[in-house]
Amino acid sequence: MNPTNRDMTELPDLAAGAGRVGPVRSRMPIYVDLLPPCNERCPAGENIQEWLRLVKADEDEAAWRELVRNNPFPAIHGRVCYHPCEAACNRAELDGAVSIHAVERYLGDLAIAECWAFARPRHTTGRRVLVVGAGPSGLSAAYQLALMGHEVEIRDSSPLPGGMMRYGIPSYRLPRDVLDAEIGRIADLGVTMVTDHTVTDLMAEQIEGRFDAVFVAIGAHLSRRVDIPSRDASRILDAVSFLRDVASGERPEIGSRVAIYGGGNTAMDAARVARRLGAEESIIVYRRTEAQMPAHAFEKEEAVAEGVTMNWLRTISSVDESELTVEIMELDEKGVPRGTGRYEQLAADTVILALGQQTDSNFLRKIPGMRFEHDVLKVDGRTLMTDVPGIFAGGDAVPSERTVTVGVGHGKRAARQIDAWLAARPPVEHVKHPVATFDTLHVWYFGDNTRTTQPELEPTARVRDFDEIVGGLTPEQAHVEAARCLSCGNCFECDGCLGACPEDAVIKLGKGRRYRFDYEKCTGCGTCYEQCPVHAIEMIAER
């Protein structure tokens, strides 16, 4: 067996000092490629370490092309992704995680400025795929399927494509020219986008359109409702419709005092949009504590900075002409909020309900064999295919975390499984390498290099209009930030092993080709392993 191809899961855990030089070599070094934690945590499946390496090497276009192999929306994701990759970044243990989302945005914005385009496929398959929904999941699937040579048509009920990226995310977070530019590239691949079209009979449309497979990627555009006694129902809005109307150019009359009922990211967006529409008071009313709110902490912090008031452990009991009655809650011994029977009044001209969203999946319930779990579809966890052969689903249409990045990842995975199904191949399997954890690195190699921060508008200036509040990195900043990547588990040709080997058993193969070991010379001393800063070398038992 070639030692470089051994199964890493079978390797013994040898300490650096075990089996050192002796009459008979008891261990040997091999080069490995472990999985960087950022890659492992990316819902879109990006090879983050690789495109950061290319940015570091001043190969920006190559970095962009590596990135968009998995995700066609770097300028969008660089703005709206909650970057779980950064929460996993090993550099956080030193001087701060790499600002991955900021470098991703830099590449996305550069690609728009330079008019970089996707390469069209050289061959077509003759197969047709229908995608229902033009949100992040549907667009991602259409993009990947088009690259594979399939003919793809997207049908969506909204006037413009983008789904919740367009109609749910405010423009101060995601400018619409950026959204249009990245969606436009997918259309340029030949993907047909039919808008203002509501699918009511999926099987009929599949047959009439001669589609060989279907991907259902409907978004969660329906707000969950709650019955609140009110003398004037017109004063109660739902957050999804409110955000959609504003994104479509409307300016609803909401008065000067607005209460938002809910504690998620949508509630924070609604509260911040209300401030931009002129509300002097924008109040979050949430039945649990701050620690229990589902919104991301930075969303809450940005809302507070813009003048939004938080009202924890309160639930709305009724809405009157110019105020609402809220019951004061308290947590029981299990941490569950319970009513206290004590009430207070809050002034409010409008109440916006932000209590969660659900999908409108009724049109799918007439399909024989289709199974549901509440409002979402039951799918095979590996292939994303429903119980109806040839119909796949992803994004908000299936049980999952409802984010843009998760949706894009589902679209990519579904496209690969659809391609395999159309070709009668077995489902695509993806085996991951072990993760390179911080304790396996030799971080003495890396000096201090603090995280680059992005410019932001002052809070008082933000609420004046819908201008983007966070700026991008300069080219110099982006390259400095990319260089902070520790390249966890992947050789970046630092020559440490080459210079450290006392037996000249390390052979350099040329730039970009890394190294190999001369096992006739190697004594198994482990010096190369001890010098490697990124754990790209493993010591294994001699066999």
Rounded Cα distance, 288 and 502, in Å:
63
Rounded Cα distance, 303 and 173, in Å:
13
User: For the structural domain made of 3-33+491-541, what CATH number should be given?
Assistant: 3.30.70.20
Question: How far does Cα 458 stand from its chain's mean position?
Answer: 27
Percent of the chain beyond pLDDT 90? 81
Where do the DSSP E strands lie in 286-417?
308-311, 314-319, 323-331, 337-347, 350-353, 357-358, 372-373, 376-377, 391-393
Amino acid 213: pLDDT? 98
pLDDT in tens, 216-240: 999 887 777 787 877 667 789 999 9
CATH 3.50.50.60 fits 225-357, yes or no: yes
| Terminal-to-terminal C-alpha distance of the chain | 9
Rounded Cα distance, 73 and 166, in Å:
13
For residues 193 and 156, is the Cβ–Cβ distance under 8 A? yes
pLDDT in tens, 267-311: 999 999 999 999 999 999 999 999 999 999 999 999 999 999 999
pLDDT in tens, 78-131: 999 999 999 999 999 999 999 999 999 999 999 999 999 999 999 999 999 999
Amino acid 232: pLDDT? 67
pTM, two decimal places: 0.90
Could you count the other beta carbons within 10 Å of the beta carbon of residue 373? 10
Backbone phi, then psi, for 61, in 5-degree steps? Answer: -65, -40
Percent of the chain beyond pLDDT 70? 95
Amino acid 295: pLDDT? 93
Q: Which residue has the higher pLDDT, 20 or 69?
A: 69
Amino acid 3: pLDDT? 41
For residues 414 and 215, is the Cβ–Cβ distance under 8 A? yes
**In this structure, which CATH number among 2.60.40.10, 3.50.50.60, 2.40.110.10, 3.30.930.10 belongs to the domain 128-221+359-422?**
3.50.50.60
pLDDT in tens, 441-464: 988 888 778 899 999 999 999 999
Amino acid 231: pLDDT? 64
Nearest to 211 by CA among 124, 335, 128, 142: 128
CATH topology of domain 37-116+444-479: Fumarate Reductase Iron-sulfur Protein; Chain B, domain 2 (1.10.1060)
Question: Any residues with CB less than 8 A from the CB of 411 and at least 6 apart, and which?
Answer: 136, 137, 138, 139, 140, 141, 142, 143, 144, 215, 217, 394, 395
Q: How many residues does the chain have?
A: 543
Nearest to 239 by CA among 228, 249, 224: 224
Torsion region of 169: left, alpha or beta (phi above 0 gives left; psi -120 to 50 gives alpha): beta
Which two structure tokens, joined as six digits, stand for 307? 């003048």
Residue boundaries of the structural domains of the chain: 3-33+491-541, 37-116+444-479, 128-221+359-422, 225-357
Rounded Cα distance, 525 and 537, in Å:
13
Amino acid 316: pLDDT? 93
Q: Tell me if 3-33+491-541 shares its fold with 128-221+359-422.
A: no
Beta bridge partners of 540: 28
